[in-house]
Amino acid sequence: MKKQLDNVPDTSLNRVDGAAKVTGAATYSAEYKVPGLVHAVLVTSTIAKGSITAIESQEAEAAPGVLAVISHLNAITVPGWPERKQSAGRAPVGTAFRVFYDPLVYFDGQPVAMVIAGTHEQAMHAASLVRVTYKRESHQTHFEKNIHKAGVPLNVQRSKSSPFQDYERGTAATQGNTDVKIEAEYTIPTQHHQPLEPHAIIAVWEAGDKLTVYDKNQGVKSVQGQLAQAFKLPRENVQVVSKYIGGAFGSGIRVWPHTMAAVMAASQLKRPVKLVLGREQMFTSVGYRPYTVQKISMGATKDGRLTGIVHEGTGQTSMYEEHLERTVLASRALYACPHVTTRYRLLSLDVNTPTWMRGPGDATGVFALESAVDELAFALKMDPLEFRLKNYAESDPERNLPWSAKSLRECYELGAEKFRWQNRMLEPRSVTQNGWLMGYGMASSLYGFHRHPSKARAVMQADGSVIVQSATMDIGPGTGTAMTRIAAKVLGVNAKKVRFELGHSSLPDAPGQNGSSTIPSVGSAVHVACEALKNKLIALAREMPRGSRPTSQEWSGVVRNGEVFGSADDKEGVSYADILKYHHLNELEVTEESKAGAEGNQYSMYSFGCHFVEVLVSPLTGEVRVTRVVTCADVGAIINYKTARSQSIGGVVGGIGMALMEHSAMDHRFGRYVTTDFANYHIPVHADIPPIEVYYIDKPDEHVNPIGSKGLGEIAIVGVAAAVANAVFNATGKRIRELPITPDKLV
Ligand code: MOS
């Protein structure tokens, strides 16, 4: 394969768990063998709002193999759920949904009962026999029809320091020198994560006060904490195992109702219970990217200087809970612009609560912002990259702080060169190829830096191999591979000598895998733990007799190839195994914590990037083919190029899906999604994806953490949809502001 990164030698590790994954040796949540396991299947509501009036379960209970039918009529009381103050009515906004708690129905697809049986098939069959009757109330699920009801989120009303407060820099009124102005509205529909592995849990009560769950999630420590709280158990009595995950993209950040349902059933039946969501249930159980409408007005002087941006966004949430996202925030930071106003509103509908989905808020907001920038550049008759460079923010215009590091300009330049952006025609419909219209588009990407306190344990074994542990996760990016790389480098050992363990709540405390925070946070912890272990080993080596050679005074201690040397040009070293042997140690262990200091007050920290896209559009059918993508990122130091590159490719693929295909359509007569499988909910397949060229600036950010590395997962997708939409405009002259860009919108 052609190596895409030409500015550093590619010494990447292959995925440390690659062989286990492709041979089936990797155990996913639903695959654990637990004696006495029984199977649960959810029965879900067929109305979007109202209440359950009766549940007839006799027939289901009499069906072969059935052990129980659980609903609000007979479910156990979850001890950590206090009685609601308004027990007779709907829960006040801000209360998470409680499964099998009362007869109220908040959304179509809500779990209303659960059948537990000896086999999955028996439970499936019996679930079809449960008859639920409802008192139906009229529901509101249509975003556009209800948008006038949107308001300032209660969470924002209650918190003056909320980042989602209305924001104003300069005043919109002083856009006096604006020569050219655009104003437009952008819509993204509801989109679902839909990882190939559905969410699944096996809940095992080892004793009345001891719980183990094998659960698909993005944070074993957070699930441990939430389950301990719900069931009023000491944290250590709850263990959460989540070692392999077949994609999540944000759907696993929370503890969802199905997780609670399985744990409740296992408690009630005193049997281990397995629950695997069906694909259809994945559309109503684990969140989604919320339907969002945004308005942007933007002005510039005729020589291309931004004068003002007004960005308003309204997102969707459920009736019982608020989900807030960074939708409008990028407009405050991405460009040097004197006047910026942002407003964020929420609309509650009779739907389940959305959640974070890759690049949450920013993927949505930057679609609008970077489409608007392209629109304004076109109105100015200016190259959109030149326009962006003209308004490049040399420091953070929102916080008035220097960037910790920013190489977005270098990204633009490298990307433009590799893509051959200079060949782009300003006028749409200028280029055709075999009767198809060809267009070029680009967009920027940014995502805030997140670093959470993290611990790691590093253990040198008697044979010179190393075990490194942290309760971090791998939802796909290759966490174990990157951490192995960090450990091997610090300790000067071959990566084959390192084993990294993750995905178990008994391991040292680490944040969940979200917000592109794993490498910055856990990578730092692994680095400092291995540094500490190395220093201990160096100190121990120094105490050892060193053959005929006297211990030199300027002994500094250098590690390479699994040995400690007195100094860099020492020929004779002592191996880690011999150090432990000499000191009669079976192993040597250190646990270290790494966390941010005050540097976040001195610097504004972001990852940056940009994407360049070529499309062909059929003038006859409106079909869009993405034919070329160049993506370039500035995320500080790259830890492992090969896995990073895969993550960048995955982000682009997700962005192409967002731009051209993904759309969770609802039949509003019933408040029900009609796209409930991959036949109807379209995501890109290999044939939809062209070769994707990935480039990194790979320059350590010295202010963010000891490894100089920032997050990559989110910026990989942020901006991609805008780049595609901008390319479609360049090809066709049609500006599509409502995703996905399906053929009907282009003919
Ligand atoms: Mo990500 S949406 O923080 O998994």
Indicate whether 553 pLDDT > 70.
no
Does 714 participate in catalysis according to the annotation? Answer: yes
Per cent of the chain over pLDDT 90 is 92
Q: Is 605:396 a contact under the CB 8 Å cutoff?
A: no
Cα 600 to Cα 423: distance, rounded to the nearest angstrom: 41
- Compute CA distances 655 → 363, 367, 371, 440, 715, whole Å: 8, 10, 14, 16, 10
Nearest by Cα to 577 from 410, 433, 445, 460 = 460
Q: In ligand 1, which atom is closest to the CA atom of 475?
A: 4
Say which residue the tokens 């480039």 belong to. 695
Residue type, 703: H
* pLDDT for the residue numbered 727: 99
Angle in degrees, CA 548, 554, 555, rounded to 5: 60
Q: For residue 148, report the phi and psi dihedrals to the nearest 5 degrees.
A: -65, -15
Q: What are 91-95's contacts with CB under 8 Å, separation 24+?
A: 91/320, 93/154, 93/319, 93/320, 93/321, 93/322, 93/348, 94/154, 94/155, 94/320, 94/321, 94/322, 95/320, 95/321
Residue of 191, 323, 324, 356 best suited for mutating to test ligand 1, as the one with most atoms within 8 Å of CB: 356
Tell me the CA–centroid distance for residue 356 and ligand 1, in Å: 6
Q: What is the average pLDDT across 150-168?
A: 95
Beta carbons within 8 Å of 704's beta carbon, 6+ residues apart: 404, 405, 449, 451, 520, 599, 605, 636, 710
Q: In ligand 1, which atom is closest to the CA atom of 249?
A: 4
* pLDDT for the residue numbered 589: 98
Q: Which residues line ligand 1 (CB under 6 A)?
A: 218, 249-250, 253, 356-358, 360, 514-515
Q: State the DSSP string of 468-512.
A: EE-S---SSS-HHHHHHHHHHHHHT--GGGEEEE-SBTTSSP---
Indicate whether 208 pLDDT > 80.
yes
Angle in degrees, CA 278, 282, 288, rounded to 5: 175
* pLDDT for the residue numbered 174: 58
Q: What is the average pLDDT across 213-242?
A: 98
Q: What is the average pLDDT across 365-383?
A: 98
Tell me the CA–centroid distance for residue 395 and ligand 1, in Å: 27
* pLDDT for the residue numbered 20: 97
Nearest by Cα to 740 from 690, 671, 683 = 683
Map residue 632 onto helix, strand or coil: strand
Give pLDDT tens digits for 458-498. Answer: 999 999 999 999 999 999 999 999 999 999 999 999 999 99
Tell me the CA–centroid distance for residue 256 and ligand 1, in Å: 15
Q: Read off the pLDDT band of 210 (50, 70, 90).
A: very high
Q: Read off the pLDDT band of 3 (50, 70, 90).
A: very low
Tell me the CA–centroid distance for residue 512 and ligand 1, in Å: 10
Indicate whether 237 pLDDT > 70.
yes
* pLDDT for the residue numbered 2: 39
Indicate whether 258 pLDDT > 80.
yes
Tell me the CA–centroid distance for residue 616 and ligand 1, in Å: 31
Say which residue the tokens 């009669």 belong to. 584
Cα 490 to Cα 44: distance, rounded to the nearest angstrom: 52
Helices (H) and strands (E) in the chain, counts: 19, 29
Q: State the DSSP string of 96-152.
A: PP-TTSSSEE-STT-EEEEEEESSHHHHHHHHTT-EEEEEE------HHHHGGG-B-
Give pLDDT tens digits for 382-394. Answer: 999 999 999 999 9
Tell me the CA–centroid distance for residue 218 and ligand 1, in Å: 9
Range list of β-strands (E), 595-734: 606-617, 624-634, 666-667, 672-673, 692-696
Q: In ligand 1, which atom is closest to the CA atom of 513?
A: 4
Arithmetic mean of pLDDT over the chain: 95
Indicate whether 444 pLDDT > 50.
yes
Q: What are 152-158's contacts with CB under 8 Å, separation 24+?
A: 152/345, 152/346, 153/317, 153/322, 153/324, 153/344, 153/345, 153/346, 154/93, 154/94, 154/322, 155/94, 155/322, 155/324, 156/324, 156/344
* pLDDT for the residue numbered 85: 58
Residue of 289, 358, 474 best suited for mutating to test ligand 1, as the one with most atoms within 8 Å of CB: 358
Q: What is the average pLDDT across 302-319?
A: 96
* pLDDT for the residue numbered 95: 76
Q: Which of 375, 614, 662, 714 is catalytic?
A: 714
* pLDDT for the residue numbered 172: 63
Instruction: Please write down the HEC assignment for all residues of 584-598.
Output: CCCEEEEEEEECCCC
Q: What residue's CA is closest to ligand 1, atom 4?
A: 250
Residue of 514, 647, 715, 717 best suited for mutating to test ligand 1, as the one with most atoms within 8 Å of CB: 514
* pLDDT for the residue numbered 83: 75
Q: What is the average pLDDT across 570-589?
A: 94
